[in-house]
Structure 1
Amino acid sequence: MKMRQRFSSHRGIYLIPNLLTTAGLFAGFYAVVASMQGHFEYAAIAIFIAMIMDGLDGRIARITNTQTAFGAEYDSMADMVSFGIAPALVAYNWALSDLGKFGWLASFVYVVAAALRLARFNTQVETADKRYFQGLASPSAAAILAGLVWLGVEYSWEPKPYGIYIGILTIVTGLLMVSNFRYSSFKGANTKGKVPFMGIIIMVLLFVLIASFPPEVLFIGFGIYALSGPILTLWHLKDIREERIQRKKAKSNTEDTETDNESESIS
């Protein structure tokens, strides 16, 4: 009887969003396998496909109201593979393998930073300001490394002589993920409102550029986004300090109110 109750109360999982998450996980895993076989262009493209899948699974879950704790955890695990382990190993196999300890340590720093970034995001998702990311998001960091690899293959670069610089870029990209720099999440944009006609033209031109020169546009675009964090943070440093002071005051007032209520209940 108890076994029947346990079986009947067992909850399933939603198919479509978790299927998209699995597709992203597969793309990240394939990127690692492709880089081991020397197919670096396919590996870089697979990471970008994983980014598309990662963007779709969350949107589909919200649209269909199929968000679950299981889906959130599964998505986080998939992100660790696709945007943590995969880009680090692709960069290592492409340019860092001949650098000895520095090469694999640079890749490891990136992997650890991605894990810490995801863990911090998961613990702060309920309280963080939705308009900003704290630190560079792991998909954007992965796009920088994947874009660089794709660009190198496109122009037939020999990466080994520049391995030390690629290793430094890998470390810096990882450190940006765990930094306190604020990056715009673009979630404050009004996607349901009207936009000027020129806005549509610009979007069409952007798609044409990406289709015509994908590695160049993607690498430069995500590189600019990575630089925008430090610039945005320094530009709004005064506002950030004022926000922190207001939060501390609000927290202090809340604690004082709770203390007064406890004293009144005791008396």
Structure 2
Amino acid sequence: MKELPCDLPEVAALPRRRRLRRTVFILPSLFTVGNIFCGYFAIVSTMRGNYDDAAQAIGIAIFLDMLDGRIARLTNSATDFGLQLDSLADVISFGIAPSLLAFVWGLSTLNHGLGWTAAFTFTICGAMRLARFNIGARDLKHFVGLPIPAGGGMIVAIVHFFVQPVATQIGATFLVIAVFLLAFLMVSTIRYPSLKSLTLGRKSHIAILFIALLVALIYNYSRWTLL
């Protein structure tokens, strides 16, 4: 009986390749899940009065949000599922969590429901910004409207710098103006530069060094750097 040719090492390697491919596709979503966890942790911390913990958790979520998309592009593992999960994560971590933090930390002292109106406006404008991004044409060089992580990051930078809750009407007034302004910028058509097109080319080395320096400054002197 004639034996069929068979490359046993190659056949044995097939399951490992499939597992590796599945891991590559799951990896970006794991960072997104970490993003959601940070947003949830920030909400719980805000309700418990741990405002700086909440601000730092949202800061970590911003870092994870930067990683998941870049990893998906580098590994060619971007999917519609990952895109939708990332959008939901952004609404939680950069929409709901920062707006709740802003309200409890400094807007709740305002009269006539102005504080919660500002907080809700920020959340809904962030959600609209994400919806517009999902259905719009992809532009690697620019964002249209302030990205929601940047908007949420502005709020948590203020909270992280001052730490102590706002105790005066003047402080609350400045905060509510800032929240409304950030909400407007997210749904505006102002174009902002994007880092998605950043490659390892000649001109990008300066940008990469700048980002590395910024990360180091945030790690060691976070309050003054973020301000």
CA distance 1:114–1:198, shift in 2 (3 Å): closer
The answer for unaligned runs of 5 or more in structure 2 is 1-21
Q: Does 1:165 align with 2:174?
A: yes
CA distance 1:36–1:133, shift in 2 (3 Å): same
Structure 1 residue 144 displacement after superposition? 0.2
CA distance 1:56–1:163, shift in 2 (3 Å): same
Q: What CA RMSD, in Å, does the superposition of the two structures yield over aligned residues?
A: 2.3
2:157 is aligned with what amino acid? G
1:186 is aligned with what amino acid? L
The equivalent residue for 2:110 is 99
The equivalent residue for 2:201 is 193
Structure 1 residue 21 displacement after superposition? 0.6
Give the TM-score, by structure 1 length: 0.70
The question of whether the paired residues in 1 share the 8 Å contact of 2:218 and 2:225 is answered with yes
CA distance 1:208–1:129, shift in 2 (3 Å): closer
The equivalent residue for 2:159 is 149
The equivalent residue for 2:15 is none
The equivalent residue for 1:114 is 126
2:116 is aligned with what amino acid? W
The question of whether the paired residues in 1 share the 8 Å contact of 2:161 and 2:224 is answered with yes
Question: In structure 2, how many angstroms separate the alpha carbons of the residues matched to 1:196 and 1:17?
Answer: 24
Show structure 1 runs of 4+ deviating over 6 A.
196-201
Any idea what SS the aligned residue of 2:195 has? coil
**Which of 141, 144, 166 is equivalent to 1:134?**
144
CA distance 1:111–1:204, shift in 2 (3 Å): closer
Q: Does 1:62 align with 2:73?
A: yes
2:202 is aligned with what amino acid? K
Any idea what SS the aligned residue of 1:99 has? coil
The equivalent residue for 2:11 is none
Question: In structure 2, how many angstroms separate the alpha carbons of the residues matched to 1:40 and 1:88?
Answer: 12
CA distance 1:193–1:27, shift in 2 (3 Å): same
CA distance 1:82–1:203, shift in 2 (3 Å): closer
Structure 1 residue 129 displacement after superposition? 3.1
Question: In structure 2, how many angstroms separate the alpha carbons of the residues matched to 1:215 and 1:163?
Answer: 20
Any idea what SS the aligned residue of 2:196 has? coil
Question: In structure 2, how many angstroms separate the alpha carbons of the residues matched to 1:118 and 1:106?
Answer: 19
Q: Which has the higher helix share?
A: 1
1:42 is aligned with what amino acid? D
Equivalent residue runs for 1:63-102 within 5 Å: 63-100=74-111, 101-102=113-114
The equivalent residue for 1:20 is 31
Structure 1 residue 204 displacement after superposition? 5.6
Give the TM-score, by structure 2 length: 0.81
Question: In structure 2, how many angstroms separate the alpha carbons of the residues matched to 1:196 and 1:180?
Answer: 26
The equivalent residue for 2:59 is 48
Question: In structure 2, how many angstroms separate the alpha carbons of the residues matched to 1:199 and 1:167?
Answer: 33
Question: In structure 2, how many angstroms separate the alpha carbons of the residues matched to 1:26 and 1:165?
Answer: 30
Question: In structure 2, how many angstroms separate the alpha carbons of the residues matched to 1:186 and 1:203?
Answer: 10
Question: In structure 1, how many angstroms separate the alpha carbons of the residues matched to 2:204 and 2:143?
Answer: 27
Q: Does 1:217 align with 2:225?
A: yes
Instruction: Single out whichever of 78-87 and 14-23 deviates more from structure 2.
Output: 14-23
**Which of 173, 184, 189 is equivalent to 1:175?**
184
